[in-house]
Amino acid sequence: MKSYAQLYIDGQWVSPVKGGLFETVDPASEAVIAQVAAATCEDIDLAVKAARRAFDEGPWPQMSGAERAAVLRRIAEGIRERQQMLAELEVRDNGKPLPEALWDIGDTAGCFDFYADLAQGLDDQREQSVALADERFSSVARKEPVGVAGAIIPWNFPMLMAAWKVAPALAAGCSMVLKPSEMTPLTALELADIAHQAGLPAGVLNVVPGLGPDAGAPLSEHPGIDKLAFTGSVPTGSRIMQAAARDIKNISLELGGKSPFIIFDDSDIEAAVEWIMFGIFWNQGEVCSATSRVLVQRDLYEPLLQRLVEQTRSLKIGQGLEEGVLLGPLVNRGQYDKVLAAIARGQEEGATLLYGGTRPAGCDKGFFLTPAIFADVPQDSWIWNEEIFGPVVCVRPFTDEAEAVRSANDSRFGLAAAVMSADLPRAERVARKLRAGIVWINCSQPTFTEAPWGGYKQSGIGRELGEWGLNNYLETKQITRYDSQQPWGWYIK
């Protein structure tokens, strides 16, 4: 029986050892929507042991890719069958507008289908021969699952972030323990139920909601884990890397960003405004790749800002299930206070607040905020350089290409970047100069399961999605054979 008050361990719904619960809140109403099982180190230990058994003794890693693909496709189907329910649950737990949640859940199902295809492909591509210079030997390189994976995910795209880790890990043949964010744990528990009904063997996927220090930390420290995959903030990522260092766990990290968007003055102004908005207002700006630093070439600067304010003014803010809403509340009080503090700090630092940054009229409850537009933001200011993770855009003018590239690259982050120009050779040239893992030309944010995703610099290590996401969960083994009939003849002549 599924219940949000239970953990999913070893194919069963079980109460936490210590019986703890935590509350998850609807950020639009501030009402508690569910009591959720709170895992602690005792439960993490049970979950890791179950995953260990499923990997070391169970059928999953031994199955053919095609057999695993069939289960992944049933999971995708299960998600699609419940798409509306899951999207509404995501709206209530996270705050995002329903059309965005529907988009996320569609992508989540698509991600399972995509990795089902790659799992099937592994049957033909698992082993490749390696040409050796010494003809007395033959060698093959073989891909094998890395083992037991631990995944710790954030609250901004709750079910999609689960899929980005669960789908490739299962495709590879790994077993795993998934810890969703305590802010948005509900769809991950639904995923466990869907995977169970799809016939995933017991112990292959374990879902253990809980608080970061109580559940996330023991998972990252557990010696039974072979690989850790994390998405979230830089400080927590650093802590996870330190925990992984103790026993040299394989890690991948997808961390924060402060991604630049360079707009040359030959750009279409309406298109520029729309992509700026999509780049920072989608999901309330709670997006790791949000293009929060906008650089606009001088001749376009004033007219573009004016148009951006006009369009932003007309954005409908409200509860995510309400018709026409394009901006929901921020995820919780902590994030709301953090974003408000960043806006106050920007004003103190001398940036010009052109619009927004306050509680919208008529929204007395909930973590609602009018999107904030800052102009003339000083290059060395805190708001220009630090991740805010909210609907706050910072804009600066630039004169020429060299200055724009220099300013864009002047960041400790390197997750994403975007460039817009009618001059495609210029846009392509600039894209190649930007130090970021994802670069968009003439758009910002569209994300595809087929293409690699991840950051340079402090934005992370490794790549998710596409074939790169599958490789994240694979080890490479060489098997080398001595074929010569001649004795080796080194010690024994």
Q: Choose, by CB under 6 A, the member of 82, 338, 345, 429 that binds ligand NAI.
A: 338
**Identity (one letter) of the amino acid at 475?**
E
The residue (of 38 and 383) whose beta carbon lies closer to Mg ion is 38
The token pair at 193 is 């139920």
List the one residue from 24, 267, 381, 444 that touches Mg ion (CB under 5 A): 24
* Rounded-to-integer distance, Cα 138 and Cα 441, Å: 45
Q: If contact means CB under 5 to 8 A according to the sort of partner, which of Mg ion, ligand NAI, none does residue 442 touch?
A: none
Give the contacts of 45 (CB within 8 A, at least 6 positions apart): 218, 222
Return the amino acid letter for 2.
Answer: K
The question of whether 386 is a catalytic residue gets the answer no
Question: How many contiguous H segments (helices) and E segments (strands) does the chain have?
Answer: 15, 22
Determine if 246 is a binding residue for ligand NAI (CB under 6 A).
Answer: no
Which tokens is 470 given? 């599958």
- Mark residue 411 as left, alpha or beta (left: phi above 0; alpha: psi -120 to 50; beta: remaining): beta
Taking the complex as a whole, the smallest distance from the CB of residue 183 to ligand NAI amounts, in Å, to 6
Q: β-strands 205-207, 175-179: how paired?
A: parallel
Shortest Å distance, C-beta 330 to ligand NAI? 9
d(CA 437, CA 257): 11
Q: Which is nearer to ligand NAI, 155 or 355 (CB)?
A: 155
The whole-angstrom separation of Cα 273 and Cα 306 is: 10
Residue 254 annotated to the active site: yes
Q: x-or-dash pattern for Mg ion, window 168-207, by CB under 5 A?
A: ---------------x------------------------
Rounded least distance, CB 187 to Mg ion, Å: 11
Binding mask 238-267 for Mg ion (x = CB under 5 A): ------------------------------
Would you list the DSSP string of 103-127? HHHHHHHHHHHHHHHHHHHHHHHSE
Q: Which of residues 208-227 bind ligand NAI (CB under 6 A)?
A: 212-213, 216-217, 220
Cβ–Cβ < 8 Å for 408, 417: yes
* Options 78-86, 90-98, 334-342, 363-371: segment touching Mg ion (CB under 5 A): 90-98
Residue 154 found at the interface with ligand NAI (CB under 6 A): yes
Residue 252 touches ligand NAI, criterion: CB under 6 A = no
Site string for ligand NAI, 373-402 (x = CB under 6 A): --------------x-x-------------
CB 328 → ligand NAI: shortest distance, Å?
16
Residue among 176 and 183 whose Cβ is closer to Mg ion: 183
- 232 makes contact with ligand NAI (CB under 6 A): yes
Instruction: List, as one string, the DSSP characters of 247-310.
Output: TT-EEEEE-----EEEE-TTS-HHHHHHHHHHHHHGGGG--TT---EEEEEHHHHHHHHHHHHH
Q: Which of 90, 100, 182, 288 is catalytic?
A: 288
Phi, psi of 94 (to 5 degrees): -105, -30
Q: How far is the CB of 154 from ligand NAI (least distance, A)?
A: 3
Sign of the dihedral through C-alpha 15, 45, 69, 473: positive
Q: Active-site residue numbers?
A: 254, 288
Write out the residues near ligand NAI by the rule CB under 6 A. 152-156, 179, 181-182, 212-213, 216-217, 220, 231-233, 236, 239-240, 255-256, 288, 335, 338, 387, 389
Write out the residues near Mg ion by the rule CB under 5 A. 24-25, 93, 183
